[in-house]
Amino acid sequence: MTLHPQYITDTKGKKQAVVLPIKEYNLLLEELDELHDIKLYDAVKAKNEASEPFEQYLKKRKAKK
């Protein structure tokens, strides 16, 4: 992804803020969301807990009601 930032500076030229085209901003948000999902996945996998098929889980849950 290539970003095209524009900077807002103070009177001394120090960068204070950044402006991105909305498409780039939205893409950046999507990539951050995906990164968050990957980190959650990695954290769960690191626990190395036993798993079961989703359908089996649903059957057990339904049986408890």
pTM of the full structure: 0.65
Structural domain containing residue 33: 6-64
Distance CA 60, CA 15 (A): 57
Residue ranges with strand state E in 2-42: 6-9, 15-19
Does a structural domain hold residue 49? yes
The four Cα atoms 27, 30, 31, 36 give a dihedral, to 10 degrees, of 160
Does a structural domain hold residue 1? no
Q: How many residues does the chain have?
A: 65
Does a structural domain hold residue 25? yes
pLDDT of residue 65: 74
Q: Structurally, how many domains does the chain consist of?
A: 1
Per-residue pLDDT for the chain (65 aa), expressed as one digit of tens each?
899 999 999 999 999 999 999 999 999 999 999 999 999 999 999 998 888 999 999 999 989 87
